[in-house]
Amino acid sequence: MQQGGTWKAPRDADPGSAPGGPGFGDMIEALRVLQDTVTGAAPPPEIVEETTRTLRDLSAVLASHTVPEREQVVGHRMDLPGRGQALVPAFLPVEWDDSRVSGRVTFGRHYLGGNGAVHGGAIPLLFDEVLGRLASSGRTICRTAYLHVNFRRITPVGVELRLEAAFERDEGRKRVLTAALYDGDHVTADAEGLFIALRPGQP
């Protein structure tokens, strides 16, 4: 597969000129680690109070730099996992073109549902992010119409998994895509998504 599409910034792009600068991805990764750490911690009250103060101070610093949606960095850094946001698990593409993508993902402790299994809501979130990007790769922007997910077996937390997604067909404005999540040779979940290309002027 050709190394291109919407999964990486152009090879000749200057990281220093990207919105948020070259360190923005490190900040988001630190936030991911924080989410995992908070999820797995049982801190004493004094640490809870200290952490709360620190988080409020950080929020106050960033609040002074709030911008309209079109100007924010999160969601617009195509060179970073999750487009530079910490909501979706960090999907790391390995091979891709405009018709398919395969890559790796590890669900951190933040996505724990219980008994070592990933929360059932986190898996459709990942599928929607990857399929949505693939549906628009080399094409006009589209939105999710439906996403059908089959849970085949437990998806483990803290284990590197493989995700494969493919553009199956288009029918006018309709685009049908599929994806599967693998733990080794075993499919833990698969999905079919229908995406609709936006008409001019649609948000």
* pLDDT single digits (tens) 57-115: 999 999 999 999 999 999 999 889 999 999 999 999 999 999 999 999 999 999 999 99
pLDDT for position 174 = 97
Confidence (pLDDT) at 5: 41
**Phi-psi bin for 118: left (phi > 0), alpha (psi -120 to 50), beta?**
beta
**Could you tell me the CATH number of the domain that includes residue 75?**
3.10.129.10
> How many domains, in total, are found in the chain?
1
SS3 label, residue 101: strand
* Residue 20 CA: distances (Å) to CA of 31, 70, 75, 105, 150: 15, 14, 12, 24, 37
Q: Which helix (H) or strand (E) holds 95?
A: strand 91-96
> How far from each other are the two terminal CA atoms of the chain, in whole angstroms?
32
Q: CA 181, CA 183: separation in Å to the nearest integer?
A: 7
| Domain span at 138 | 1-203
Contact of 73 with 84, CB cutoff 8 Å: yes
CA–CA gap between residue 80 and residue 74 (Å, rounded) = 10
Within the chain, which residues score under 50 in pLDDT?
Answer: 1-5, 11-12
pLDDT of residue 7: 64
pTM of the model: 0.91
